[in-house]
């Protein structure tokens, strides 16, 4: 028991690293760019997630009172529409340009031009619009999914140390079920409307990876008295770690501008 704090510390560190990695690589995390303007460099973040209002793209830290040569270009995604171009203005302290609000699940593809240079230089940013999710369901969902990963890693460490682990396996399965299959659909419904967009209804990787992880943990729990159960537990935890490194919200809900209906993004989707 004296060494349990070491296992907890390792589990917390591993869980934090995985959570940060998933957050930083996800399609909703803002895109960081460095803009050159009037011989100065400015770091800014281009939003990739918006709620039901115009989303402002801001050149922070640029305090020039004179007009600046900066434009925002956007079009609906995925379409071959022509880009709409608007100039940055300064209604308050910072220079801003607005991305118009889209239907729930609707996306815009956009980039900015400053003094003739395009940002990002490689490819435009895609932003998806959703409903605002109440904190009363979003926070429990995040904490429960974080807890499920933490308990899973701790269970694996107990398995490796050849210590009793059945209690924490049960806690992991229970936490994953509540976080992923009760609060998860509540968050999905609040944000986009549907309750579930994974298999067999769609391609949402967030739903699908939760389902896959739960199936393996359920098998491990059902075979708890099997002498080789520890190998199944180890496989379930390693699979959870692997699938949870997949970016959050990838291939999720997406508004189809052609049919004017909400569906899910196709894995093979690409603009011509």
Give yes or no for a contact between 98 and 55, defined as CB atoms under 8 angstroms apart.
Answer: yes
pLDDT at 76: 96
Q: Return the structure tokens found at 201.
A: 């209804």
Instruction: Identify the band that residue 27 occupies on the pLDDT scale cut at 50, 70 and 90.
Output: confident
* CA distances to 7, 9, 29, 142, 238 from 155, in Å: 9, 13, 30, 20, 11
Average pLDDT over residues 185-214: 86
Position 271 pLDDT exceeds 50: no
Average pLDDT over residues 109-113: 96
- 163: buried, middle or exposed (CB in 10 Å: 19+, 13-18, 0-12)? middle
Position 270 pLDDT exceeds 50: no
pLDDT at 250: 61
Instruction: Identify the band that residue 65 occupies on the pLDDT scale cut at 50, 70 and 90.
Output: low
Position 85 pLDDT exceeds 50: yes
pLDDT at 2: 60
Average pLDDT over residues 63-80: 87
Average pLDDT over residues 225-245: 89
Residue with tokens 């999710």: 133
Position 265 pLDDT exceeds 80: no
Average pLDDT over residues 110-137: 94
Percent of the chain with pLDDT over 90: 61
pLDDT at 202: 72
Give the residue among 253, 107, 127 at the shortest CA–CA distance from 192. 253
d(CA 43, CA 34) in angstroms, rounded, equals 4
Instruction: Identify the band that residue 247 occupies on the pLDDT scale cut at 50, 70 and 90.
Output: low
Average pLDDT over residues 193-212: 82
Cα 264 to chain centroid distance, Å, stands at: 15
Output the furthest CA–CA distance in the chain (Å, rounded).
Answer: 75
Query: Is it true that the peptide bond before 173 is cis, omega within 30 degrees of 0?
Result: no
Position 88 pLDDT exceeds 70: yes
Q: Return the structure tokens found at 127.
A: 């932003």
Residue with tokens 């807890």: 147
What is the pTM (predicted TM-score) of this model?
A: 0.84
d(CA 119, CA 214) in angstroms, rounded, equals 41
Average pLDDT over residues 188-198: 88
Give the residue among 267, 258, 263, 252 at the shortest CA–CA distance from 80. 258
Q: Mean pLDDT over all residues of the chain?
A: 88
Instruction: Identify the band that residue 74 occupies on the pLDDT scale cut at 50, 70 and 90.
Output: very high
Contacts of 229 by beta carbon, 8 Å cutoff, 6+ apart? 220, 223
Q: For residue 116, is it left (φ>0), alpha (ψ between -120 and 50) or beta?
A: left
Give 164 or 251, the one with higher predicted confidence.
164
DSSP H helices, the chain, are: 4-25, 135-160, 166-178, 184-192, 205-222, 229-244
Cα 245 to chain centroid distance, Å, stands at: 11
Residue with tokens 């240079």: 117
For CA atoms 131, 74, 196, 219, the dihedral sign is negative
Instruction: Identify the band that residue 100 occupies on the pLDDT scale cut at 50, 70 and 90.
Output: very high
């Amino acid at each position: 028991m004296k060494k349990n704090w070491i296992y907890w510390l390792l589990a917390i560190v591993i869980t934090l690293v995985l959570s940060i990695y998933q957050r930083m690589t996800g399609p909703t995390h803002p895109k960081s760019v460095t803009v050159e303007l009037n011989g100065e460099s400015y770091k800014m973040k281009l939003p990739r997630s918006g709620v039901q209002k115009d989303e402002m793209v801001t050149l922070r830290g640029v305090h020039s009172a004179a007009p600046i040569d900066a434009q925002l270009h956007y079009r609906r995604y995925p379409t071959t529409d022509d880009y709409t171009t608007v100039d940055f203005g300064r209604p308050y302290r910072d220079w801003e340009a607005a991305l118009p609000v889209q239907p729930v699940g609707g996306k815009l593809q956009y980039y900015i031009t400053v003094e003739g240079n395009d940002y990002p230089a490689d490819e435009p940013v895609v932003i998806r619009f959703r409903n605002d999710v109440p904190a009363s369901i979003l926070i429990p969902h995040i904490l429960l999914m974080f807890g499920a990963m933490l308990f899973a890693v701790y269970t694996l460490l107990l398995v490796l140390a050849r210590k009793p682990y059945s209690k924490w396996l049960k806690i992991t399965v229970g936490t994953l079920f509540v976080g992923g299959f009760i609060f998860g659909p509540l968050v999905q419904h609040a944000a986009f409307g549907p309750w579930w967009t994974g298999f067999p209804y769609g391609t949402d990787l967030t739903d699908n990876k939760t389902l896959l992880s739960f199936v393996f943990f359920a098998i491990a729990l059902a075979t708890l008295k099997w002498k080789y159960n520890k190998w199944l537990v180890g496989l379930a935890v390693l699979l959870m770690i692997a699938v949870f490194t997949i970016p959050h919200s990838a291939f999720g809900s997406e508004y189809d501008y052609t049919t004017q209906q909400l569906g899910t993004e196709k894995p093979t989707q690409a603009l011509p």
